[in-house]
Structure 1
Amino acid sequence: MVLEMAILQVIKGEEVYFEKDFAMASQIIQSISGYISHSLSKCIEAENKYLLLVDWEKLEDHTIGFRTSEAYLEWKKLLHHYYNPFPVVEHYEMILENRK
């Protein structure tokens, strides 16, 4: 499994619209082969900052399967105009996990 991580800086004053459009965009990403789950968290200290985490079966499910799909064009249309600056997206592999 691969974890995609992005810090999303949303243009101030656009947070409510972003959250509404993100809910619609969630349906898009869920349709992609290799998608496992995702979460969006809002920063407590900075109201226009969000953390996006997406679990993929493998890296290529995101970098090729999603990013080269028609679905990604819809995702882009819904969300990319909210970001300033555009987010850096990184991918991580699990080394250790503990849960209580």
Structure 2
Amino acid sequence: MILEVADIRIQPGRQAEFDAAIQLGLNTVIAKAKGFSGFKVNKGIESPERYVLMIWWATLENHTVDFRQSPAFADWRAIVGPFFAQPPVVEHFELLAKSE
């Protein structure tokens, strides 16, 4: 299992719109992607324009190839992209340890 972490910064004052848009994009586009296994979104308290999006994928290639190189990626960016203040910083992680 691969964890994608996207650090997203949106334009000030657009949190309510973005809250709805990211949920729409996750449920209608990302959730249908090959290898998708789940997501979690957290929004900043001290930095209300900052969001941390976590998506679990079966393999790294499910995100980097199957999704990113598909028409669905353009659909996703059309929904959430207009809110970005800058391009998101995206990294991938493997699980090392977790609590029971």
TM-score range, shorter chain: over 0.9
Structure 2 Cα separation of the partners of residues 88 and 7 of structure 1: 5
The 5-angstrom pairing of residues 81-100 of structure 1 reads 81-99=82-100
Name the TM-score, length of structure 1 as normaliser: 0.94
Farther-moved stretch of structure 1 (29-38 vs 80-89):
80-89
Q: Which sections of structure 1, spanning at least 5 residues, go unmatched? A: none
Runs of 4+ with >6 A deviation: none
Q: Which residue of 2 aligns with 1:71?
A: 72
Structure 1 Cα separation of the partners of residues 11 and 47 of structure 2: 12
Q: Which residue of 2 aligns with 1:2?
A: 2
- Cα deviation, residue 83, structure 1: 1.2
Name the TM-score, length of structure 2 as normaliser: 0.94
Question: Matched residue of 2:85: which SS?
Answer: coil
- How high is the sequence identity, in percent, across the aligned residues? 29
Structure 2 Cα separation of the partners of residues 18 and 25 of structure 1: 10
Q: Which sections of structure 2, spanning at least 5 residues, go unmatched? A: none
Amino acid at match of 1:25: G
Matched, 1:31 2:32: yes
Matched, 1:13 2:16: no
Structure 1 Cα separation of the partners of residues 80 and 66 of structure 2: 19
- Cα deviation, residue 81, structure 1: 1.9
- Cα deviation, residue 71, structure 1: 1.2
Q: How many positions carry a matched residue from both structures?
A: 99
Question: Matched residue of 2:29: which SS?
Answer: helix
